[in-house]
Amino acid sequence: MLSDVDLAKLRIVFYPDPVLREHCGPVTEFGPSLQALAARMLELMHAGKGVGLAAPQVGLPIRMFVYNTTGTPADDRVCVNPELTDLEGGVEADEGCLSLPEVTVPMRRAESVTVRAHDTEGKEFRISGTELEARVCQHENDHLDGRTIVDNMPTSAELANRRILKHLKERYRARNRR
């Protein structure tokens, strides 16, 4: 499946594309194709000035996300088939999303989290994060379960983002009429 993906044509998918609502399936093929996909996703994430990107955000309903909270290339991370554990604390902050440009939503997230995942070769690892890293991992993992920040929007954020969301829906409909 992954070997059939044209990485050069991979782009960030925008709300309300239905792939953003899919519950993603586990990755079963590891190796060079997955590594190439992860590299392309990191490239798109950095180009979009984001800190995280999940596979459904590039149109692929698989359980994988990439992230980097520092901007330093050595801090690029790839999480395949992630599971979040040890969520502790709680803090609210505004979140944005590469699939919802210009939209911000106040989100309450755990302040710390442990992620158990695999790398692109299939080797299991654990990483614990706090603050921004914990927030990003939770945000990206939500994408793997078909959830976006609009699902938790309070009324005040709905009103503040109404025009942007309307524009994104109109743009999506116009692209799909072609």
Answer whether 76's CB lies under 8 Å from 42's CB: yes
CA 18/CA 15 separation, integer angstroms:
8
Q: Which residues of 134-152 are buried (b: 16+ CB within 10 A; e: fewer)?
A: bbbbbbbbbbbebebbbee
Q: What are phi and psi of 8, to 5 degrees?
A: -65, -30
Which amino acid is it at 118?
H
Question: Active site residue: 43, 140, 158, 170, which one?
Answer: 140
Bridging pattern class, strands 124-130 and 91-97: unpaired
140 catalytic per annotation: yes
* Residues with active-site annotation: 140
